[in-house]
Structure 1
Amino acid sequence: MSLVRNLATVSGFTGLSRILGFVRDILVAAFLGAGPIADAFFVAFRLPNLFRRLFAEGAFNAAFVPLYAGKVEAEGRDAAQTFAEQTHAVMFTFMLLLTFGAMASMPWVTYALAPGFEDWALKVSTQEAINLKADGLDTVLAIPSEFISKLAYAEQLNMITFPYLFFMVIVALFSGMLNSLGRFAAAAAAPILLNVFFIITLVLIVPRVADPGRAMAWTVSAAGFGQMLLLYISLKRAGLNMRMRLPRLSSDVKTLMRRMVPGVLSAGAMQINVVIGTMISTFQEAGVSFLYYAERVYQLPLGMIGIAFGVVLLPELARKLKADDQKGAMNSMNRGMEMALLLTLPATIALIVMPWPIVVTLFERGLFSRETSDATAIALMAYAAGLPAYVLVKILQPAFYAREDTVTPFRLALVSIVLNIALSLVLFQFIQYVGIALATAISSWVNVLMLWIVLVRKGHLSLDGRFISRLPKILASSLVMGGVLWSGMRWVRPWFDGALYEKVAALSVLIGAGLLVYALLSLLLGAVRPADFSAMFRRGKA
């Protein structure tokens, strides 16, 4: 299978999911804004979202894919199927017990996720519904009277959303099996269901109910079941029938667990950092919401580029290393980093230079005020500083996983997480929620630096001449593009105070001008060549 074609498949579906996610978040922003209900729901959604990203977006693949693919190659599909069924039985049982245990201790779980909520009381009740009419948006928000604080309300929402964790672990297993067989489409398309379910709920249900937070929480669990069902059907179509077995820790399953735990934690270091940031931000009113909306914006380029590389590059490297093609593996790493920086550096510059127009255009309507836009834009700028690092981690870690080494990136990720906690606590005292976003960016760059040093010392990474010559050209093209965007904002700034169509037009002009300048400069300076695209097309057809 072609690396480029597979990247296009995963990036395409992931990109569609991110776009639908934007539609979802635009609606969430309009209906909930950055108020107490939004804060409570985002906390309740944070843990399920963490599991989705840890397991379903590549981290589980890091441990499972090499083992499953090795079984297919060495012992055939039957042996691989037995291994998958044993894994399914163990994970199914573990997650079932974890789900029941967590729901029984939900007050403590919620307090751990949102310790700052204890100090914030909700200001609405069933008898005091707030009618919201802004930009033509009509809805009614009310919180049942038994919820006397954001902490208690978040606890109830957590009870509803927690089963999503169970579904995501099973989804990760099914995705790993399909990816190992070169079937990337279904696994990449599954997250789309979550956003489709959300959009339907926000459009048809939320405006008609008194408790929108609870309606959205039920949507999370329903979407998780839908994703699991979709991948189960895809497995059946691929000729794989998952039979239920009694859980047994076979030698293969033990090997998987030894690799999976550090692999999941290391691959999910950034997401763990985001959860830590959420916990700290609960001590500032609306801090959770500001960070959530900012994170949603930078997740679009991260999702389309970083996750695609994390999913596709690992099997590519594993195959080349099993064939003892060290030169080919090194070339894949260099081309992966080159392509990633070609896409993320301009995105980073754009998000740093013009975060405010993006946030205003995407979210500012309904309950999402100008003050909320200003606060979210600052957080987006801080997060964006780490965007290349977030993607490079997704490229560098597979170089360890393909060699069945999950311990090294795990140890380095722990250093990154500890650093993030320390920086977040310190910076929060001075610049509040912005310090949390900045700490996430800094700790991610430190993680990249540590991964890079270890790979170079082990002889697993060496920059080739093409990468070294093109990197300065990519950076120069990105900086000039940033200058054009900065100048252009002065001309179109008044448009962002107008109607939605004026905001969209202004943002489109800025983005179009930036893309044109960057594309022309990249070609003129040689950051990318027309022959690269024709070569990609030929490989995609192969």
Structure 2
Amino acid sequence: MSLVKNVGTIGGLTAISRVFGFVRDMMLARVLGAGGVADAWQLAFQLPNIFRRLFAEGAFASAFVPLFNRRMKEEGELSEARRFAEDVLAFLVPVLIVFGAVALILMPWIAGLFANEGMDADPALFDHAVLMARITFPYLLFMSLATLCAAVLNSLSRFAAAAAAPILLNMCLLAALTWGAIQPDSETTRYATGFWLAVAVSASGLLQLLWLVFWMRRAGFRLSLKVPKITAGVKELGILVVPAVFGAGVYQIARFIDLFFLSTLPDGSYTYLAMADRWNQLPLGIIGIALGTAILPALSRFLSREEADEAARLQSNAIELAMLLTIPAAVALWITGSAFTRVFFVGGAFTLEDALITGTVVGGLVLGLPAYVLVKVLTPNFFARKDTRTPVLTAAASLVVTVAGNFLLVPSLGVLGLAVAGSIGAWCNVALLMAVLAKRGFFRLPGRIVGRIVRIGIASAIMGMALWMLMGPLDSWFSGSTIERMVAIGAVIAAGLASFALSAAALGVLDKQTIQRLRRRQA
């Protein structure tokens, strides 16, 4: 299957999930607003998600996939791979149960570390944040097991089911928000809505797990739960997972540090950063995660067969495709971020001032958007070689830069400083990953790709100038009636697409040869 087709499958379904996510956040803004219960909910939702990303998505998948692929070299012969997956499952379940139980007991202390001034001043609000966090925490157990199923499906080149699973999360949250939207607007309603949102999170985790188990069985792969035993395969996975956990841990430590700084900022800052990150996560999820997920199994197979040229070709194509999609997205969102937040979020409990602050934070986040995606694209080159240590070191170095940026920028820029510091750290991580790959002779960016990226940047700058010229005349429309908002944002999108397409065509960013190369089958 070609890189474009794999990324299209994963990215297309991720895009559907992100659309549901936008609707969810629009309702969330209107029902809960910013500050108070909204901030408490964002804290409760982030805690299990940070641990999920720490133990499941990044660390586990990056270590599991190469080992699983190595055991399924012979097409149609999956017995060895199945035994390995069952051994891992048997060990994973009790670890997750024990960790979850400890976290539930310690939740008041954990939440207390990151409570902002609004929660500190209102004991009832803090207690509700703890309750919501406890209710959401089983999501970690369900999604960690779901990650194992997704890793198996991706290794079998069945990408669709795993990419579609997050839609269930947004559907469950939308159901809770719909209930809140039809209730009388009051503080009691906001508290009750927060409770049902927490229930919806854990329920969605269970549904996603059942969904992936179903499709894994449809693919002819069944797992049985066995007595935990530390086999040779589990030991090998542990050796790879530990540094990968530290690597993912570096990023999650950065998230915890963000929570710490957020706790020092005014009420509403949790919500502003979370809402702004939705716009950053749209291209990051569709492009970065899709590319990283698609190329890891293929890179693992190329390297196991010592096909270094094919691995380098795949890596080059992934970088080119990533930059083609993210540089124009970053430029567009940097210029028009406040327009989008005003059009889609203002209403109900979410004010125009809230939207303008959120739009400013969007601009800070998207400065690092291409870098966040490149990290997703470059790290599989290390994971496929069973090197989970190097990304740890580069991520640790970028964390130092990010924390230093936080101390320098947050006092003067507030929540915007967090966004800018994270973007700077992400670019440092990219520079280090590229330097290590080149030094070890694993990969060097071809001059042909460098030239094409430069042309993508020029085309994006031309598009940016066109959008900047539109922002002034349309400014009042972004906060006007529903029809005015839709017309204004439609004009922005149309102008952006047209100006980039025309400038990209004039500069030769995309030609027939490039499209054929990106569509070429991976294996």
TM-score (norm 2): 0.94
Deviation at 1:117, TM superposition (A): 5.5
User: Residue 387 of structure 2: SS of its match in structure 1?
Assistant: coil
Contact kept, 8 Å, 2:342 with 2:479, in 1: the verdict is no
Q: Distance in 2 between matches of 1:408 and 1:536?
A: 28
Alpha-carbon distance change, 386 to 100 in structure 1, aligned in 2, over 3 angstroms: same
User: How do 1:14-33 and structure 2 match up within 5 A?
Assistant: 14-33=14-33
Asked if 1:168 is matched to 2:143, the reply is yes
Deviation at 1:271, TM superposition (A): 5.1
Residue of structure 1 equivalent to 2:392: 410
Asked if 1:380 is matched to 2:362, the reply is yes
User: How do 1:312-351 and structure 2 match up within 5 A?
Assistant: 312-351=294-333
What are the ranges of 5 or more consecutive residues in structure 2 without an aligned counterpart?
none
Residue of structure 2 equivalent to 1:124: none
- Amino acid of the residue matched to residue 50 of structure 1? I
Asked if 1:250 is matched to 2:231, the reply is yes
- Amino acid of the residue matched to residue 447 of structure 1? N
Identify which of 149, 154, 157 aligns with 2:129. Answer: 154
Q: Distance in 1 between matches of 2:168 and 2:245?
A: 23
Identify which of 259, 276, 279 aligns with 1:278. Answer: 259
Contact kept, 8 Å, 1:116 with 1:279, in 2: the verdict is no
Contact kept, 8 Å, 1:274 with 1:440, in 2: the verdict is no
Residue of structure 1 equivalent to 2:485: 503
Contact kept, 8 Å, 1:206 with 1:215, in 2: the verdict is no
Deviation at 1:113, TM superposition (A): 3.6
Q: Distance in 1 between matches of 2:489 and 2:255?
A: 28
Q: Distance in 2 between matches of 1:172 and 1:445?
A: 28
Residue of structure 1 equivalent to 2:174: 199
Identify which of 497, 500, 504 aligns with 1:518. Answer: 500
Alpha-carbon distance change, 454 to 259 in structure 1, aligned in 2, over 3 angstroms: same
Deviation at 1:258, TM superposition (A): 2.0
Alpha-carbon distance change, 441 to 503 in structure 1, aligned in 2, over 3 angstroms: same
Residue of structure 2 equivalent to 1:391: 373
Q: Distance in 2 between matches of 1:54 and 1:339?
A: 27
User: How do 1:290-305 and structure 2 match up within 5 A?
Assistant: 290-305=272-287
> Mean Cα displacement is larger for which, 97-106 or 206-215?
206-215
Alpha-carbon distance change, 55 to 6 in structure 1, aligned in 2, over 3 angstroms: farther
Residue of structure 2 equivalent to 1:138: none
Residue of structure 2 equivalent to 1:133: none
Alpha-carbon distance change, 421 to 115 in structure 1, aligned in 2, over 3 angstroms: farther
Residue of structure 2 equivalent to 1:7: 7
Deviation at 1:534, TM superposition (A): 4.9
Deviation at 1:55, TM superposition (A): 5.7
Residue of structure 1 equivalent to 2:164: 189
Deviation at 1:12, TM superposition (A): 0.7
> Mean Cα displacement is larger for which, 224-233 or 503-512?
503-512
* Fraction of identical pairs, as percent: 39
1:379-398 superposed Cα distances (whole Å, 9 cap, x missing partner) = 11111100010000001111
Residue of structure 1 equivalent to 2:89: 88
Deviation at 1:116, TM superposition (A): 5.1
Deviation at 1:207, TM superposition (A): 3.4
Q: Distance in 1 between matches of 2:292 and 2:262?
A: 29
> Mean Cα displacement is larger for which, 171-180 or 280-289?
280-289
- Amino acid of the residue matched to residue 443 of structure 1? G
Q: Distance in 2 between matches of 1:500 and 1:265?
A: 47
User: Aligned pairs, how many?
Assistant: 515
- Amino acid of the residue matched to residue 254 of structure 1? K
Contact kept, 8 Å, 1:357 with 1:496, in 2: the verdict is yes
Deviation at 1:59, TM superposition (A): 4.4
Q: Distance in 2 between matches of 1:176 and 1:381?
A: 33
Q: Distance in 2 between matches of 1:486 and 1:475?
A: 16
What are the ranges of 5 or more consecutive residues in structure 1 without an aligned counterpart?
122-147
- Amino acid of the residue matched to residue 289 of structure 2? I
User: Residue 444 of structure 2: SS of its match in structure 1?
Assistant: coil
Contact kept, 8 Å, 2:36 with 2:119, in 1: the verdict is no
Asked if 1:478 is matched to 2:460, the reply is yes
Contact kept, 8 Å, 2:60 with 2:241, in 1: the verdict is yes
Contact kept, 8 Å, 2:402 with 2:425, in 1: the verdict is yes
User: How do 1:37-76 and structure 2 match up within 5 A?
Assistant: 37-54=37-54, 57=57, 59-73=59-73, 76=77
Contact kept, 8 Å, 1:61 with 1:172, in 2: the verdict is yes
Deviation at 1:28, TM superposition (A): 0.3
Q: Distance in 2 between matches of 1:58 and 1:15?
A: 20
Deviation at 1:264, TM superposition (A): 4.0
Q: Distance in 1 between matches of 2:86 and 2:269?
A: 43
